[in-house]
Amino acid sequence: MFNWFSQILAVTRFSLRSLPQRKGSSAAAMFGITGVVAVMVGVLSIAQGVLRTMQNSAVDENAIVLRSGAETEMMSVLSGDDTRIIAEASGIARNDLGALASPEMFVVINLPMRTTGTDANVPLRGIERQAMDVRDRFQLTQGRMFEWGINEVIVGVGANNQYSGLEVGSSIPVGQEQWPVVGIFEAGGGLAESEIWVDSAVLKPAFRRGNFYQSVFVKLNSPDSFEDFKDSLTSDPRLNVKPMREAAYYDSQSTTLYNMITGLGTLIAVIMGLGAIFGALNTMYTAVSSRTREIATLRALGFSSGPVIISVITESLLLAFFGGLIGAGLAWLAFDGFRTATLSWSSFSAITFAFDVNMRLLAQGIFFAMVIGLVGGLFPAIRAARQPIAHALREQ
């Protein structure tokens, strides 16, 4: 066994030492794999970014209440009476102002994207005073809070980055009026950063809404209070509502988009990967072909086929590994943290997010590169080991 390993080591060592003689074709295969991994990691980092934004939106002790049957805030309608009954449910935390329950309106307005100038659906959320205490990661970073009862808005930092005309001091068109932007806020990297917030008391008349809301966000005493809270709402005959933990709600909101981007990214990666496999195959067949006599000499001297196969595969895997590493590194440099916006298929409004090139994705990219390298090296390796020695020794 020792002998076999020492054979592998020896054959692999001078297989790798002869790499500079094949640097052109080796570099072509390696950079082919670099491209595949960079694109794959880049596309999948979009899905990771969306997922992270949704995950950042959720707080363990928070819940959202929609009308029963509604999947999104856009589809939900709750009357003012409903929201008052919901605020009285058991399990909700309280502060000086009362129950930490925030009835909220959700409408969409059109604003131009900074990059293209084309209009996008931007969420405009009408809130009440408890909203900031329910979302305890809310923080104003520029300007000031809007005055209650006045047509002023504050803008999430993501929305500010993506759309034109949302700087503090500018104003946005709402119906026939222009509402001044008075502040910019962060919300822990969550979905709220894609939104514009305004007092719901001024939003209702502007959109000719009666005393209706889309949702109620609540902060519970603890994450364990949710079942209590849920039971008290679902058992109340006056209500027809669906309470959900925030995490479950945001998870359901991101599933379609996440699956679509991941599916697309995987499809692109597989198609490009097939091309890269042919590149690797070509390179390794060339490598084996250029080393035919060398490999045959080793086998003639008594080296067995196994180490020859392993040495060819090792070379291919090493090329793939470095190709993958460079591709993953390029993707990380080019995409990680890059902010953009996409349409949420559930709310039909834009969400802003940052591409997220995380360690798991980098590892996935390098693993995919290694699969390409393995397949690309396997067949040439088998060919190298199967060539009749006597014939191969005469190759030039």
Partner 1 sequence: MMQTTVDEALVKVSGVDKIFKRGSEVIHVLGGLDLEIPTGEFLALMGPSGSGKSTLLNLVGGLDRPSEGSVEVGGHRIDRLPGRKLAAWRARHVGLVFQFYNLMPVLTAQKNVELPLLLTSLSRAERKKRAALALDIVGLTHRAGHYPRQLSGGEQQRTGIARAIVTDPTLLLCDEPTGDLDRKAGDEVLELLQALNREQGKTIIMVTHDQHAAERASRTLYLNKGQLSTEPVD
Rounded to whole angstroms, how far apart are CA atoms 105 and 204? Answer: 8
The verdict on 7 binding partner 1 (CB under 8 A) reads: yes
The verdict on 1 binding partner 1 (CB under 8 A) reads: no
Choose, by CB under 8 A, the member of 169, 208, 210, 301 that binds partner 1: 301
| The one segment of 2-10, 43-51, 332-340, 341-349 that binds partner 1 by CB under 8 A | 2-10
The verdict on 210 binding partner 1 (CB under 8 A) reads: no
Q: Which is nearer to partner 1, 339 or 383 (CB)?
A: 383
Burial of 252 (0-12, 13-18, 19+ CB in 10 A): middle
Q: Which is nearer to partner 1, 209 or 293 (CB)?
A: 293
Rounded to whole angstroms, how far apart are CA atoms 388 and 396? Answer: 15
Choose, by CB under 8 A, the member of 55, 221, 297, 358 that binds partner 1: 297
Choose, by CB under 8 A, the member of 1, 2, 210, 238 that binds partner 1: 2
Choose, by CB under 8 A, the member of 221, 304, 342, 358 that binds partner 1: 304
| The one segment of 15-23, 111-119, 204-212, 239-247 that binds partner 1 by CB under 8 A | 15-23
Q: Which two tokens stand for residue 242?
A: 């669906």
- For residue 304, the SS3 value is coil
- How many chain residues interact with partner 1 (CB under 8 A)? 25
Q: How far is CA 89 from CA 58, 71, 79, 127, 239, in A?
A: 21, 22, 16, 20, 11
Q: How far is the CB of 313 from partner 1 (least distance, A)?
A: 19
| φ/ψ of residue 178, rounded to 5 | -110, 125
Q: How far is the CB of 17 from partner 1 (least distance, A)?
A: 4
Q: What angle do CA 257, 230, 345 make, to 5 degrees?
A: 15
| φ/ψ of residue 209, rounded to 5 | -95, 145
Taking alpha carbons only, the member of 351, 355, 339, 340 closest to residue 122 is 351
Where residue 251 falls (left for φ over 0; alpha for ψ -120 to 50; beta otherwise) is: alpha
**What are the b/e assignments for 88-108, b being 16+ CB within 10 Å?**
ebebbbeeeeebbbbbbbbbe
Q: Which is nearer to partner 1, 172 or 308 (CB)?
A: 308
Q: How far is the CB of 6 from partner 1 (least distance, A)?
A: 6
Q: How far is the CB of 280 from partner 1 (least distance, A)?
A: 22
Rounded to whole angstroms, how far apart are CA atoms 153 and 213? Answer: 18
User: What residue has token string 């979302």?
Assistant: 135
| The one segment of 95-103, 303-311, 312-320, 375-383 that binds partner 1 by CB under 8 A | 303-311
The verdict on 238 binding partner 1 (CB under 8 A) reads: no
| The one segment of 13-21, 152-160, 216-224, 346-354 that binds partner 1 by CB under 8 A | 13-21
Rounded to whole angstroms, how far apart are CA atoms 53 and 161? Answer: 15
| The one segment of 55-63, 241-249, 277-285, 291-299 that binds partner 1 by CB under 8 A | 291-299
Q: How far is the CB of 310 from partner 1 (least distance, A)?
A: 14
The verdict on 299 binding partner 1 (CB under 8 A) reads: yes
Taking alpha carbons only, the member of 177, 170, 123 closest to residue 150 is 177
Choose, by CB under 8 A, the member of 1, 6, 66, 259 that binds partner 1: 6
The verdict on 22 binding partner 1 (CB under 8 A) reads: no
Q: Any idea what DSSP says for residue 165? A: T
Choose, by CB under 8 A, the member of 75, 270, 300, 363 that binds partner 1: 300
The verdict on 390 binding partner 1 (CB under 8 A) reads: yes
- For residue 69, the SS3 value is coil
Q: Which residues pair with 344 in a beta bridge?
A: 349
| The one segment of 9-17, 72-80, 227-235, 269-277 that binds partner 1 by CB under 8 A | 9-17
Q: Which residue type, as a one-letter code, is found at position 354?
A: A
| The one segment of 4-12, 233-241, 256-264, 345-353 that binds partner 1 by CB under 8 A | 4-12
C-alpha distance across the termini of the chain, in Å: 33
Rounded to whole angstroms, how far apart are CA atoms 40 and 268? Answer: 7
Q: Which residues in this chain contact partner 1 in the complex, by CB under 8 A?
A: 2-3, 6-7, 10, 14, 17-18, 21, 293-294, 297-305, 388-390, 393-394
